[in-house]
Amino acid sequence: MHGTHRIVSKTQLSEEVFRIEVEAPLVARERKAGQFVIVMYDEEYSERIPLTIADADPVRGTVTLIFQTVGASTHKLALKNPGDEIVLLGPLGNPTHIERFGWAVCVGGGIGLAPLYPIAKALKEAGNRVTVISGARTKDLLIMQNELAAIADDHIVVTDDGSFGRKALVTEPLKELCMLSPPPDIVVAIGPPIMMKFCAETTRPFGIKTIASLNTIMLDGTGMCGGCRVAIGDQTKFVCVDGPEFDAHLVDWNGMMMRLGTYKEIEKEAHDRCHLEMQIAQLKAHAADKEPAK
């Protein structure tokens, strides 16, 4: 039986953020901006973890995934090393609708900067003027900055704590851009749900079309479980097959955030245990590195 994929490289981008490159030639060839994959750190007991695709190299046959160790499962994934095999299914979801809108503002928060990059790149390639707003809690969590800077016509960087760029939330520069004449033609926002919600609230009074990419709880990613369902206007949609991108002005953000918290208590306990284990593993690895060669 075939179906696992080899990790070819792993880079730790910050204390909590990892980048892995996985050998998956078919996925690398088929994937388009906006799509995601589901990974598992093993075939028996792993949770199914939806991750957005940050980049792909169809020639080398690899996809790049960037993830933050937010829970027990992402911690276990972070413990995998080059040469290890993981489960990877994809590409899932609908690709981003790309066309020449005119002026596109791409807003990314934290780990959301990873999936934002291929979308911003595709928008640029389609002939749009692309403004990128990169935001994070702190300097260490700003990722994909070189890549984004390379394709953006304008690049605005903000951090919550002012450790890099402007000390602000992404909604501040976003609002300023919306007030310009002419305003942006489209806004794409990817990041924590609360950030996307406030981006939607920022653009709403200006009537600027705003797209958000949702990352909800899901199991199969093919429409079978319905765990990812979210109210979009007066309809219930499945993020995995109807999304992951939706009109941010129609998303029931509060409902979605409540659903994301379904397993909060159970996950917190598992996460704390795993975080400790990972720190111990890193300390051990560190100690082994320091040991003189025999």
Where does this chain bind other proteins (CB under 8 A)? 1-5, 26-27, 30, 40-41, 43-48, 72-73, 76, 87-92, 219-220, 222-227, 229-231, 236, 241, 252, 254-255, 258-259, 261-263, 266-267, 270
Q: Which is nearer to other proteins, 262 or 279 (CB)?
A: 262
For 263, the token pair is 């397993």
Using CA atoms, how far apart are residues 243 and 223, in angstroms rounded to an integer?
A: 11
Closest approach of Cβ 205 to other proteins, in Å? 27
With contact defined as beta carbons under 8 Å apart, do 56 and 27 qualify?
Answer: yes
Measured from the CB atom, the residue of 1 and 179 that comes closer to other proteins is 1
Query: C-beta of 244: minimal distance to other proteins in Å?
Result: 13
Burial of 22 by CB count in 10 Å (0-12 exposed, 13-18 middle, 19+ buried)? buried
Q: Which DSSP helix (H) or strand (E) runs through 280?
A: helix 264-290
Between 45 and 179, name the residue whose CB sits nearer to other proteins: 45
- Shortest Å, Cβ 14 to other proteins: 23
Q: How far is CA 46 from CA 39, 58, 151, 198, in A?
A: 9, 28, 36, 33
Instruction: State the distance between the two ends of the chain, measured CA to CA, in whole angstroms.
Output: 41
Least Å distance, CB 278 to other proteins, is 14
> For other proteins, which is the closer residue by CB, 82 or 261?
261
Residue (225 or 250) nearer to other proteins, CB: 225
What backbone phi and psi angles, to 5 degrees, belong to 89?
-120, 130
H-helix or E-strand containing 78? helix 72-78
What minimum distance in Å lies between the beta carbon of 75 and other proteins?
10
**Residue closer to other proteins (CB basis): 42 or 160:** 42
Q: Residue 107: which H helix or E strand, with range? A: strand 103-109
Provide, rounded to whole angstroms, the least separation between the CB of residue 143 and other proteins: 25
